[in-house]
């Protein structure tokens, strides 16, 4: 099971050739995917050789190989994690039943919606990032961008496999629609808000990988708990790939922070714009933006949908099986935020309807660990500045905070105060123009743009000055 068959037109570890109907459906979809990739994938680099990793097995050890590939030749395919023998539905009303290998009829519509919503984010991010290659801060970063992009393409394959294998004609129609929506398009936008935002520069890209891809990690982790076993196996392997996207985001921002600290000490000022750096206050504004739009992706604090997904055994909690409780939560409560006039307070709610908020809490804790590591860099430079996650009510468009204005430190404020101050909290036109002015390509191996420090080490044991993308 672990080995991936690369002799087939569609690489896979699901013995695809034994299911002719599915094989034909996917082979029919493949050229449409490639057409989408040519139209909407990385702009200007399709013919270049990129040092990419490709999955060769789904084992934890040594699952990938590295080599030069032109992106349209990347071997996208169907890779599922090893099945767990005797796996059961681990939560909800069906807890203790054998995990489902086929879609339970009563949950068909719900499950399809969950898969489509996850699937839609994958091509969306490729579309959002398609112009970034032209302004890469180094070949190392260019390669990492493309690695993320091809893997998001692979994640689309993962979801399309589930749709085609388990949802018949509806599934095939959804597979087509996933290639037809476009990020930011007024007429046929992607499904979720954050995936219609622009990713216009590399600071935004790294923030996106840190905050928005991390939402993906938490969604995938809850779907990996699903009682629908093919979804679980699919998501478990996607999480292996996703770890690199977290790495790109966290280390990208860390290197920008590092460079800011170096410039600040060198020039004895925190005004870094005349020295071509990105100051910590500007980094904080981008952090505020990307954190807040990503918090929206978890949905409303109170959600009967979330309760239903759980009770049905379709979507669990983060690390469901590691938790010590009854895994049904009918009598349990959970603490959620509430607005009491001008004050933000908490109250106890039913645990089932609070599952979105619980997942958001797990996510925020994970984000905070990363921000702590950035602050470690600042501390080591002896600089008195701390990056902070904004209050969860700040700049929200979904849930109870959508109707009020909240400052980053968690005060409910007037519209007038918001109007006067939001430009200090979120990137304003001047900030955006400045960041844009830094975006020009640095493509000599081993060279880096002035606003970002080189990484501590290269990819796959290669030196930092390795030719990660052959532009010649």
Is the alpha carbon torsion for 286, 290, 293, 298 positive or negative? negative
* Separation between Cα atoms, residue 297 and residue 211, nearest integer Å: 11
**Which of the ranges 28-36, 208-216, 315-323, 400-408 carries the binding residues for Fe ion, by CB under 5 A?**
208-216
**Which of the ranges 79-87, 244-252, 353-361, 387-395 carries the binding residues for Fe ion, by CB under 5 A?**
244-252
Nearest approach, Cβ of residue 241 and Fe ion (Å): 7
Residue written as token pair 């109707």: 403
213 vs 229, beta carbon nearer Fe ion:
213
196 vs 258, beta carbon nearer Fe ion:
196
Count of residues that bind Fe ion according to CB under 5 A: 6
Nearest approach, Cβ of residue 246 and Fe ion (Å): 8
Nearest approach, Cβ of residue 203 and Fe ion (Å): 18
**Which of the ranges 206-214, 284-292, 406-414, 424-432 carries the binding residues for Fe ion, by CB under 5 A?**
206-214
* Separation between Cα atoms, residue 35 and residue 173, nearest integer Å: 17
Q: Residue 424's CB: how many other CB atoms inside 10 A? A: 13
Taking CB under 5 A as the rule, does residue 154 contact Fe ion?
no
Taking residues 443 to 472 in sequence order and writing x for each that binds Fe ion by CB under 5 A, - otherwise, the string is ------------------------------
* Separation between Cα atoms, residue 11 and residue 4, nearest integer Å: 7
Binding residues among 211-230 for Fe ion as defined by CB under 5 A? 213
Contacts of 273 (CB under 8 A, 6+ apart): 279, 434
Q: Residue 440's CB: how many other CB atoms inside 10 A? A: 11
Phi-psi region of 389 (alpha: psi -120 to 50; beta: other; left: phi over 0): beta
Contact 355, 323 (CB under 8 A): no
241 vs 357, beta carbon nearer Fe ion:
241
129 vs 264, beta carbon nearer Fe ion:
129
122 vs 250, beta carbon nearer Fe ion:
122
Is the alpha carbon torsion for 245, 248, 251, 252 positive or negative? negative
164 vs 242, beta carbon nearer Fe ion:
242
23 vs 219, beta carbon nearer Fe ion:
219
**Which of the ranges 150-158, 263-271, 302-310, 445-453 carries the binding residues for Fe ion, by CB under 5 A?**
150-158
Nearest approach, Cβ of residue 105 and Fe ion (Å): 29
Sequence-ordered alpha helix ranges (H) in 74-201: 108-128, 139-166, 168-178
Residue written as token pair 């949905």: 299
192 vs 263, beta carbon nearer Fe ion:
192
**CA neighbours within 13 Å on the CB side: how many for 51?**
21
**Which of the ranges 148-156, 324-332, 420-428, 449-457 carries the binding residues for Fe ion, by CB under 5 A?**
148-156
Read off the tokens for 351.
Answer: 């645990």
Contact 133, 145 (CB under 8 A): yes
* Separation between Cα atoms, residue 89 and residue 416, nearest integer Å: 51
Binding residues among 110-129 for Fe ion as defined by CB under 5 A? 122
Closest CA to 53 of 63, 38, 65: 65
Contact 302, 349 (CB under 8 A): yes
Residue written as token pair 């692979």: 154
Nearest approach, Cβ of residue 462 and Fe ion (Å): 22
122 vs 279, beta carbon nearer Fe ion:
122
**Which of the ranges 47-55, 103-111, 243-251, 369-377 carries the binding residues for Fe ion, by CB under 5 A?**
243-251
Contact 222, 302 (CB under 8 A): no
Q: Which of 143, 155, 358, 396 binds Fe ion (CB under 5 A)?
A: 155
Q: Which of 112, 143, 181, 245 binds Fe ion (CB under 5 A)?
A: 245
* Separation between Cα atoms, residue 366 and residue 137, nearest integer Å: 27
220 vs 272, beta carbon nearer Fe ion:
220
Taking residues 416 to 435 in sequence order and writing x for each that binds Fe ion by CB under 5 A, - otherwise, the string is --------------------
* Separation between Cα atoms, residue 341 and residue 263, nearest integer Å: 45
152 vs 201, beta carbon nearer Fe ion:
152
Nearest approach, Cβ of residue 107 and Fe ion (Å): 23
Nearest approach, Cβ of residue 288 and Fe ion (Å): 22
Q: What is the DSSP letter of 153?
A: H
Q: Residue 332's CB: how many other CB atoms inside 10 A? A: 13
Binding residues among 310-369 for Fe ion as defined by CB under 5 A? none
**Which of the ranges 41-49, 73-81, 210-218, 265-273 carries the binding residues for Fe ion, by CB under 5 A?**
210-218
127 vs 152, beta carbon nearer Fe ion:
152
**Which of the ranges 111-119, 130-138, 152-160, 389-397 carries the binding residues for Fe ion, by CB under 5 A?**
152-160
How much is the CA Rg of the chain, to the nearest whole Å? 23
Residue written as token pair 């979804």: 231
Nearest approach, Cβ of residue 198 and Fe ion (Å): 18
Sequence-ordered alpha helix ranges (H) in 167-296: 168-178, 202-207, 213-223, 229-267, 280-296
Q: Which residues bind Fe ion (CB under 5 A)?
A: 122, 152, 155, 213, 242, 245
């Amino acid at each position: 099971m672990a080995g991936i068959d690369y002799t087939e037109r569609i690489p896979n570890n699901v013995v695809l050739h034994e299911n002719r109907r599915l094989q034909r459906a996917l082979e029919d979809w493949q050229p449409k995917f490639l057409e989408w990739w040519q139209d909407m994938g990385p702009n200007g680099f399709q013919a270049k050789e990129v040092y990419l990793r490709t999955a060769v097995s789904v084992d934890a050890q040594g699952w990938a190989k590295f080599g030069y590939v032109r992106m349209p030749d990347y071997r996208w395919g169907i890779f599922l994690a090893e099945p767990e023998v005797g796996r059961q539905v681990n939560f909800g009303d069906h807890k203790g039943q054998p995990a489902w290998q086929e879609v339970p009829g009563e949950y068909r519509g719900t499950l399809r919606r969950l898969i489509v919503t996850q699937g839609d984010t994958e091509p969306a991010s490729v579309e959002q990032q398609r112009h970034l290659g032209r302004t890469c801060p180094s070949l190392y970063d260019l390669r990492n961008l493309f690695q993320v992009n091809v893997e998001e393409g692979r994640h689309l394959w993962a979801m399309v496999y589930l749709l085609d294998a388990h949802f018949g004609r509806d599934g095939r129609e959804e597979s087509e629609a996933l290639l037809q929506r476009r990020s930011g398009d007024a007429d046929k936008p992607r499904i979720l808000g954050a995936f219609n935002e622009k990713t216009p520069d590399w600071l935004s890209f790294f923030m996106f990988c840190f905050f928005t891809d991390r939402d993906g990690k938490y969604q995938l982790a809850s779907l990996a708990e699903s009682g629908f076993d093919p979804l679980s196996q699919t998501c478990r392997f996607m999480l292996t790939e996703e770890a690199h996207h977290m790495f790109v985001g966290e280390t990208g921002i860390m290197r920008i922070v590092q460079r800011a600290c170096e410039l600040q000490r060198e020039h004895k000022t925190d005004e870094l714009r005349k020295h071509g750096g990105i100051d910590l206050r500007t980094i904080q504004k981008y952090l505020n933006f990307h954190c807040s739009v990503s918090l929206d992706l978890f949905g409303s604090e109170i959600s009967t949908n979330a309760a239903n997904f759980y009770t049905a055994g379709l979507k669990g909690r983060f690390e469901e099986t590691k938790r010590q409780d009854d895994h049904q939560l009918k009598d349990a409560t959970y603490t959620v935020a509430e607005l009491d006039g001008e004050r933000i307070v908490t109250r106890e709610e039913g645990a089932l309807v609070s599952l979105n908020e619980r997942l958001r809490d797990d996510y925020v804790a994970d984000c905070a660990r990363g921000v702590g590591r950035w602050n470690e860099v600042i501390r080591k430079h002896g600089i008195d500045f701390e990056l902070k996650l904004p209050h969860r009510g700040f700049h929200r468009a979904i849930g109870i905070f959508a109707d009020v204005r909240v400052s980053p430190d968690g005060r409910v404020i007037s519209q007038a105060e918001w109007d006067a101050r939001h430009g200090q909290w979120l990137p304003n036109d001047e900030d955006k123009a400045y960041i844009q002015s830094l975006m020009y390509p640095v493509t000599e191996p081993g060279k880096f743009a002035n606003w970002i420090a080189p990484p501590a080490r290269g990819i796959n044991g290669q030196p930092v000055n390795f030719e990660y993308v052959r532009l010649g």
